[in-house]
Structure 1
Amino acid sequence: MSRYIRHAAAFCVLLLGALLVNTAWLQVLQGPSYGGNPANRRPTIARYEQPRGQILVGGRAVTGSRDTGEQLRYERTYTDGPLYAPVTGFVSQRYGTTFLEHAEDRVLAGTDPMLAGFPLWNDFTRARNPGGNVVTTLDPAAQRAAFQGLGTRKGAVVAIEPTTGRILAMASTPSYDPGELSGNGPAVAAAWARLNDDPEKPMLNRAVRQTYPPGSTFKVVTAAAALDAGLVTDLDAPTDSPDPYRLPGTRTSLANEAEGCENASLRYAFEWSCNTVFAKLAVDVGVDRMREAARGFGFNDEGLRIPFSVAPSTFDTHVDRAQLALSSIGQYNTRATPLQMAMVAAAVANDGQVRAPYLVERTTRRGGGLVSAAGSRPPRQVMRPQTAVRLRELMCDVVADGTGHNAAIPGATVGGKTGTAQHGVGNSGTPYAWFVSWAQGRDDMDARVAVAVVVEDASARRGDISGGGTAAPIAKAVMQAVLRSRPAG
C-alpha cells in the first residue's frame, strides 16, 4: 500500500513542479508580451482605479480626480483648465498624456519607485502607491496676467526668474479646457476632433513648441557679440553704418523704419531699432563669433527640457555674409521660441549668466514628504559682466525714451527691446509683435523677472514697431504681478 502512496506523492510533486515551472514561464518569459497585448485591459484598469496626484500652482491644486463609478474609475479634472493647459497638458483615457501630465506621469500615477516606502515589498505584492504631487514654479498672479493680457489674440508669454531659471508664467492663446479630453466616451472623441481640426491650433503650446522669427529682439544677441568682440567700446560713438546698407555680395539694400540711422551710435540704433547698424555689426563680428554668441544664449540646443521637451531655437550657421546680416537682425532663418527670448532677457538681467529654465520645483508624496527637488543648476556665462551692464543700460533707454515706453513701471527699473517679425509671401503678413524685458523693484538686489511676449495677430500700421504698442503692455502687467508678489525663498 505504501508503494502506491509513494507513487501518488511523487506524481503530485511532479505536477506541482510542472505548475511552478509553467507559472514562472508565463510570468517571467511571457509576462512582457501579455502585458503589452492591446487586449489586456488590466494595466489600464489599474491605472485609473485610484485618484491621480495633483499639480500645484502657488500651493493650490489646479487638477483633481472625479469618481465615475465605471470600470476606468477616475477621470482627471482641471481648475482653470484653459489658463494652465500649456503647463499641465491633459490626461485622457483615450488619447494619453501631454506636457507635465506626461513628463511627471510616474509620480502622478503612483508608479514611481521613489514613492514607495518599501519598494521590494511593493514589487512582491504588486501594490500601487498613492499618486504623488508635482509642485510647479509658476506664480499664479503672473500666469493670470499673461493669459488675460493676451486675451483673444493669438500668441504666447513666458516669464523667468533670472537668478534661478524658475519659470514664473507660461501662457499660450488660444487655449482649451483639457478636462474635455479626460474620459473615453463619444464626447471626448468629438472634442478631440474639434480641437485638432481648429485652424487656430488651441492645443499648441506656442510658448515652447512654436518658433518665430524674433525680429529686432534678436539685436540683443548681436549687440552682446559686438560688445564682447570689442567692435563697440563707446555706446555713444558713431558707427560706420550707411543707410541704406547694401548686403555684402548682393545688389540688395537694407533700409530702416526709423530715421537718423546713418552712422548712428549703438545707443541710438538700439533705442530705435536701426537694422542697418546691427546688420553691419554682425558682418564685422563674423559668422563664428555670432554662432558662438547665439549658442551661448541657448540657440541650436536640441536637448532642452523643462521637464517636457522644447522646440529648438535656431541660428543658421551655414550662411554667407549677406545671410548673416539678415540672420542677426532676427530675419532669414533665425527662429526662436518665446522661452528662448525670455532666456536672452534673463541673461542680460543676470550679469551675463543664463540659468537653465525649469518648471517643477519639487515632487512630493501625497502626505507631503519630499520625493525630489529641482536643486541648484549651474549658470552658463554667455557674455562678459561688463557687456551685460551696458546692455541693461541700452534696454533701460528703450523703455525710458524709446519704443518700449509702454512697459515702464513707476518705482521699478525696467529694460526692454521691441521687435517686429515679418512673415508671409513678400513679408505681406501682419507682423508678429515681440517684446522682451526684465524688471527690478526698488528694494530688490537683483532683477526679479524676465519676460518675452509674442503676439501673432498684432494690428499695427506697417510703419509702426508694433511690439511697443501691442506686446509691451502685456509684459508690463506680468512684471508688475511678479514685483507685487513675495520673492521666492
Structure 2
Amino acid sequence: MNKTIRRASVFCLLLVLALLVRVTWVQAYQGQALADDKNNRRNLIGKYENPLGNIIVGGEAITGSKDTGGKDFRYKRTYTDGPLYAPITGYSSQAFGWSMLEGVYKDILNGTDNRLKTIMDTLTNKRAAPGNVLTTIDKDVQKAGWDALQGKQGSAVALDPATGEILAVVNNPSFDPGSIAGAGEADQKAWEALNADQGKAMENTALRKPQAPGSTFKLVTLAAAIENGLVTNIDTPTSVPGNYTIPGTTLKLKSEVTDEQCNNVSPRTALKLSCNNVFADLAHKLGQDKMRAMAEKLGFNVVQKLPVWTDPASKYPTKKMSVDQVAQTGIGQFDVQATPLQMAMVSAAIENGGKLVAPHEVSEVTDSNGNVLESFKDPKSTQVMSGKTASMLQDAMKTVATEGGGKNVQIPGVESGAKTGTAQRGVGNSLPPLAWYTTYGKAGGKQIAVAVVIVGSDTDRSEIAGGKLAAPVAQKMMKAWLKK
C-alpha cells in the first residue's frame, strides 16, 4: 500500500469514527431533548393524532375532540359554550399552542404525562389514554355572571370562602377558543383579529389584569387600622375633618358626598358613605410598611397559582412613596392595582373569620379511569387577620350592604356585606372611571364572595358607580349559588 492510499484510509477511518461518535451522542444524549423540542413538528402532530382528554364543569365535559380526517392533525379541539368558559379553559390550538388550563395540563390532556402510562404503554412505547381535569367552577354561577355582563365590558370572580374553590371566572368581551383550534386559513384570520382587538378579549382581565380598585381597597386600609390598634371601635368618631388636605400638599381631597357628611365620621359611616378623608388619613398614620404588610397578607404582590398563574400580580407599591402617595393608596388610588380575583379574596377572608384559603379552580386531575392523580381538596389556609378584626369588618360591610351602595341588590334571606368602589383612570382622569363591587353572602350553610369590575358601558359618565353597574352582576351570581 503506497503512502497516499494509506493516508486516505486513515482519513476515512477517522470520518467513520467521528460519525459513530456523533450518532451515539445524538441518540443517547440528545434524543429525548430533540423529541421534546417545541419546534419538533412530529411532536406537535403527535399531540393531535388521538382525541384529547377533557376539562370538566359540574360533571360535564365543556371540551371535546373532532375527527377531521386529516393526515397530520387528525383531531381538533372543540368547545361547548366556548366564550362562556374561555377564561377557564383557555385554548388548545394546532397552530398557536395553548393557554390557561389547556396549557397547564396539556400533557395530561394529550396523554404524554408519565403518570398516565401503564406497564404495557411503557413496554410498547404507546401513548397513554388521556386524563381529565375536573374544575371547581359552578355552571349556574358562571352563567349568571356571563348573562349579567352582557352589554357591559367587565369581569367577575366568585369564590367559596370556606374552601377557596373558584366558582366562576367571567370576562366580557370573551372569545371562542374553537375559532383558533385548527391550523387553517380561517384559524389564522381569527387569531389575527383577536390580537388586533382593542377590547383584548384574550387578556383574561378577571385573573391577569390588575387595575385601580378604588374604594373597595378601603377594606384593606380598615383591616390594617384595626390590626394595628389605630381603630378599636368602628362607631367611634375619627376627628378627621371633611375638608381634608392631603398630607404633604395643599390639595383638598373630595368624596362623592359633601364635606359635612364626612366630617369627623366613624369608620362605619366612612365605609358606608365612602369618605375618602378618613381612609386617606388612616393610611397616612399607618405608613407604607404597615399598609403594605396587610395588603400582602391578603394576596397583593403575590402571583397566585390556581394552577393557572395570575401574572402580573395585584399590586401594592413596594418602592418608597411620599406621604401624599401613601395617603392616596388608602383609597385604592396612586399605584394600587387589583384584579377581581384579588378583591374577591379580600371579601372571602373577611367572611371566613380572617382566614384566607388558597383560591383554586381545579378540584382533581384524573386518568381515563377516574383514578386521582392530583387533588386540591385540602388547600393551604392562612390566618391573615384576627377573628375580631374580621368580625368588625363584617359588621361595617353589612352597613354598606343594607344602607349604602348595596342596599338595592339585597337578596331576601341572605346575610351579606359589601363595599362599592369607583376608581379614576387615565391621565388627569381622562378615561371613564372603573365601577367596582366586592361582597360576601351566606345562607343555609353556604357562603360566597364575589368581586366585579365594570370597565365600560353605555351609562353616562356621571352615573358610573359600583352600586349601580357592578352590584347587580354580583347579586345575580350570589343568588345562583345561595338559592339553589
Shorter-chain TM-score above 0.5: yes
Write the letter of the residue equivalent to 1:472. A
Counterpart residue number, 1:250: 249
d(CA) in 2 for partners of 1:115, 1:179: 26
d(CA) in 2 for partners of 1:211, 1:477: 23
Write the letter of the residue equivalent to 1:42. R
The alpha carbon displacement at 1:29 in A equals 2.9
d(CA) in 1 for partners of 2:167, 2:38: 40
Percent identical among aligned pairs is 45
Counterpart residue number, 1:12: none
The alpha carbon displacement at 1:249 in A equals 1.6
* C-alpha contact (below 8 Å) 2:433/2:464 kept by paired residues: no
The alpha carbon displacement at 1:20 in A equals 10
Counterpart residue number, 2:49: 49
| Distance 1:258-1:108 versus aligned 2 partners, 3 A rule | same
d(CA) in 2 for partners of 1:230, 1:35: 60
d(CA) in 2 for partners of 1:139, 1:193: 32
The alpha carbon displacement at 1:234 in A equals 2.0
What's the TM-score once normalised by structure 1's chain length? 0.91
Counterpart residue number, 1:314: 315
Counterpart residue number, 2:405: 403
Q: Does 1:109 align with 2:110?
A: yes
| Distance 1:411-1:37 versus aligned 2 partners, 3 A rule | closer
Q: How does 1:22-421 map to 2 (within 5 A)?
A: 25-32=25-32, 34-35=34-35, 40-70=40-70, 71-118=72-119, 122-259=121-258, 260-301=261-302, 303-310=303-310, 311-317=312-318, 318-421=320-423
CA deviation map 1:461-480 (0-9, x unaligned): 65656100010010000000
d(CA) in 1 for partners of 2:253, 2:221: 17
d(CA) in 2 for partners of 1:38, 1:209: 25
d(CA) in 2 for partners of 1:227, 1:479: 28
The alpha carbon displacement at 1:255 in A equals 1.4
* C-alpha contact (below 8 Å) 1:211/1:313 kept by paired residues: yes
Aligned length: 463
CA deviation map 1:435-482 (0-9, x unaligned): 0000001x32xx511000000014556565610001001000000011
| Distance 1:353-1:285 versus aligned 2 partners, 3 A rule | same
* C-alpha contact (below 8 Å) 2:398/2:416 kept by paired residues: yes
* C-alpha contact (below 8 Å) 1:272/1:402 kept by paired residues: yes
The alpha carbon displacement at 1:124 in A equals 4.4
| SS in structure 1 of the partner of residue 107 of structure 2 | helix
* C-alpha contact (below 8 Å) 2:36/2:43 kept by paired residues: no
| Distance 1:37-1:343 versus aligned 2 partners, 3 A rule | closer
| SS in structure 1 of the partner of residue 233 of structure 2 | coil
The alpha carbon displacement at 1:26 in A equals 4.3
| Distance 1:275-1:130 versus aligned 2 partners, 3 A rule | same
The alpha carbon displacement at 1:296 in A equals 0.5
The alpha carbon displacement at 1:218 in A equals 0.1
* C-alpha contact (below 8 Å) 2:118/2:128 kept by paired residues: no
* C-alpha contact (below 8 Å) 2:89/2:101 kept by paired residues: yes
* C-alpha contact (below 8 Å) 2:437/2:452 kept by paired residues: yes
| SS in structure 2 of the partner of residue 388 of structure 1 | helix
Q: Which structure 1 segments of 5+ residues have no match?
A: 1-17
| SS in structure 1 of the partner of residue 476 of structure 2 | helix
Write the letter of the residue equivalent to 2:207. V
| Distance 1:384-1:30 versus aligned 2 partners, 3 A rule | closer
* C-alpha contact (below 8 Å) 2:152/2:458 kept by paired residues: no
| SS in structure 2 of the partner of residue 237 of structure 1 | coil
Write the letter of the residue equivalent to 1:29. Y
CA deviation map 1:112-165 (0-9, x unaligned): 1111233xx534432111110100000000000111111131110000000111
What is the Cα-based RMSD across aligned positions, in Å?
Answer: 2.0
The alpha carbon displacement at 1:19 in A equals 12
- Greater shift after overlay, 104-113 or 80-89? 104-113
The alpha carbon displacement at 1:286 in A equals 1.9
| SS in structure 1 of the partner of residue 167 of structure 2 | strand
CA deviation map 1:22-53 (0-9, x unaligned): 87554213424643678853212221111000
Counterpart residue number, 1:10: none
* C-alpha contact (below 8 Å) 2:38/2:44 kept by paired residues: no
d(CA) in 1 for partners of 2:33, 2:390: 57
* C-alpha contact (below 8 Å) 1:158/1:170 kept by paired residues: yes
